[in-house]
Amino acid sequence: MKKAPMRLLQHWLLILLLSAACPTQAGEKEDRQKLQQIGKDILKLEESVKGDSKEQQRLARELKKTELDTARLNQAIHDLEAQLEKLNSELLQLQSQKSSLEKSRQAQQDLIAKQITATYRLGNEESIKLLLNQEDPDKVSRALKYYDYFLKARAEKIEQYLQTMAELHRVETGISERQAALTQRRSTLSEQQQRLEENLRVRSEVLVRLDRQITSSKQALKQLHAEHKRLETVIRTLEESITKLVSPTNTEPFSRRKGKLPWPVKGTLSQYFGATRTADITWNGWLLKASEGTPVHAIHHGRIIFSDYLRGHGMLVIIDHGDGYMSLYAHNQVLLKVTGDWVQSGEPIARVGNSGGQRDHALYFEIRHNGRPTNPKTWLTRKG
């Protein structure tokens, strides 16, 4: 690896050590920009790791592009589905309001009709004569007051009826708007799903071509070593300079959570820490099989120090928990956080995928202390 790029990267990382865990708004923005620059420099450095032919490198770049496109499409589809769910919920509420308003309208209409009939009877010639022939002034006064009250009550009912009609019109307009929006969103969703299917087809073709390039176990071993070296380069570079970042004092230190940390995903453990991958490479973490799109959660409070695509590991998130502790989450479908974000324990940070050229959907998960892998079994609760 060239020394100049490494010195440049360490320069950025050492500057970051001056940052506080809860900086001012200006400092927060500056820290985020520095972390994002670090990520860019890391991606440049990982490209310098040797081990592949030019054709493999070209195919790897093509795979990266298709997987990044897939991530964007999956996120767009997820957002559209959430919008559809919200619109459907609003539509159901409006339809319920419409039903209630129509019942009120009918009841008010019937009442007004009865009042009009009663007013007609009260106001006909015979009734007026009967009223005026009353010799008792008090009776005449009471009758006139009742008649006045009756007219006012009818006017109020008519006003309520008009308000109901106006509200009903508003609700019906809202229903029409939601139905139009649903139609448009469904059309967009269908288009995005078609694009996703095409993208996945291209990805499959790229994987087949990559497999053809790896025609022997020796070449496969060489590629695995290169992928392992890339991740180690990233971890070492980050660990050398970021471990001195101060953790917030209002959170429990990572070291005190041994055996109590939540699992990052609901899944099945398929590869264990320390299990053999090759003659000289072992698993440094866990591989947890899970359904595509399953939420991936942060295991503890910390700051996202890497959130990007890393060759061989796909959509990767690395969280710094302070005191030299880090957690890694690889092969994600979509990343929900960006470099520089602070996250809480249990907060969603990604969704399970198979990026990085994987065939099956699974999360690769590591915990490291001072750059060295540690067994997740000693840190996580017994059940995921």
Per-10-residue mean pLDDT, the chain, length 384: 48 41 50 60 52 66 80 84 84 83 79 69 52 55 60 70 78 82 82 80 75 57 63 68 55 89 94 80 91 95 90 90 92 91 94 89 94 94 72
Same domain, 123 and 194: yes
Partnered with residue 308 across adjacent β-strands are 316
Q: Which of 333, 188, 216, 170 minimizes the C-alpha distance to 265? A: 333
Give the count of domains, the chain.
Answer: 2
Residue 6 lies in a domain: no
Given 149, 175, 201, the domain boundary residue is 201
Same domain, 224 and 184: no
Q: Which of 238, 207, 209 minimizes the C-alpha distance to 308? A: 238
Taking residue 132's Cβ as centre, other Cβ atoms within 10 Å add up to 9
Residue 29 lies in a domain: no
Q: What is the pLDDT of residue 120?
A: 62
Interacting residues of 31 by C-beta distance below 8 A, sequence separation 6+: 16, 19, 23, 340
Distance CA 73, CA 351 (A): 13
Same domain, 274 and 362: yes
Q: Which domain holds residue 252?
A: 217-384
Q: Provide the CATH number for the domain around residue 371.
A: 2.70.70.10
Residue 59 lies in a domain: no
Q: What is the pLDDT of residue 141?
A: 59
Q: What is the pLDDT of residue 1?
A: 44
Q: State both tokens at 214.
A: 């790896």
Residue 22 lies in a domain: no
DSSP string, 62-127: HHHHHHHHHHHHHHHHHHHHHHHHHHHHHHHHHHHHHHHHHHHHHHHHHHHHHHHHHHHHHHSHHH
Residue pair 326/235 in contact by the 8 Å Cβ criterion = yes
SS3 48: coil
Same domain, 291 and 354: yes
Distance CA 332, CA 160 (A): 57
Same domain, 188 and 248: no
